[in-house]
Structure 1
Amino acid sequence: MAQDIAYQSAVRRSAVPVSEASPLPVVLTNLTGTALVKSSVTMSGASAELVAADATRRIVIVSSTRTNADAAIDPTGGTCALDSGIPLSGGDTVQITGKEAQSAMTQCGASGQKLTVYIGA
């Protein structure tokens, strides 16, 4: 996976180096001047699309919004399963940046469980 890149603001557009004064996590607010777009995905219990492929996308942030069930995502767009994808327990967040964020991605989890997805170009 690509390295996570954090930007200070749309004005400065400079990377924030990780240091004692600026420890992780660094919160992303804007990427290349474009605000992140938020959406919600309700899972059905079977593997399904999380996001379609997009050659202009630079970041995908996925957060599990329920604390009582596990979910998983497959950043390659293949069939997703809880035991073969990137696991997301309740409250977990995963961030995919760069070229890897451009591929189609799939998800799976308990029926009715929700994921919050942020994308940016």
Structure 2
Amino acid sequence: DYDVHMHVPDGATPKDGPSAGITMVRAMLSLAIDRSVRAGLAMTGEVGLSGLVLPVGGIKEKTMAARRAGIDCLVFPAQNKRDYDELPDYLKEGLEVHFAEEYKRVFEIAFMEDDFFDHKI
């Protein structure tokens, strides 16, 4: 049994938009199913009420930050693929990058389970 409170205030760190949506959903699902997410994973994207993963800004900056943090696997919205493809090769080198259209795909990547929804829902 858990009580969950998520608070995203306007603080000292500048933010623009709902980029942490898929990450917040992932955190709540991790708690609900009592499973850790894969290590070395970062993600960004808005999640709509229907489960669609919606585009966000700052793909270059987020990729650079992930590299600095030692992250080697990224999940971006499918609609941001062009933004990622336009990055210099040195930023993309050595990264495993996934592009998700629906949250189901984010879940599969984060929890490394492709058939979770086929068996448990």
TM-score (norm: length of structure 2)? 0.29
Higher strand share: 1
Higher helix share: 2
Larger relative contact order (Cα-Cα within 8 Å, sequence gap ≥ 6): 1
TM-score (norm: length of structure 1)? 0.29
